[in-house]
Amino acid sequence: MLDWLVRDAARRGARGMMLEVRPSNERAIALYRSSGFDEIGVRKRYYPDADGAREDARVLFRRLVGE
């Protein structure tokens, strides 16, 4: 599904895709990295946590130009 979304976005003229993911979601991070996404930043305390704390978000980006 991710590959289809990337191809469709490129077909529609998008120049890149950006997403956020919890650092604790290691499986998703591995998937996004294997699909060409690179970490470009961190959003501090972005996600609410179950115990009332906050969790950062990793910001990932993939360039689509030339896909």
Q: Is 47 a catalytic residue?
A: no
Catalytic residue (one of 26, 32, 47, 55): 32
Torsion of CA 11, 17, 23, 28, to 10 degrees: 0
Q: Is 55 a catalytic residue?
A: no
Tokens of 44: 């501090």
Catalytic residue (one of 20, 46, 47, 55): 20
Where in the sequence numbering do the catalytic residues fall? 20, 32
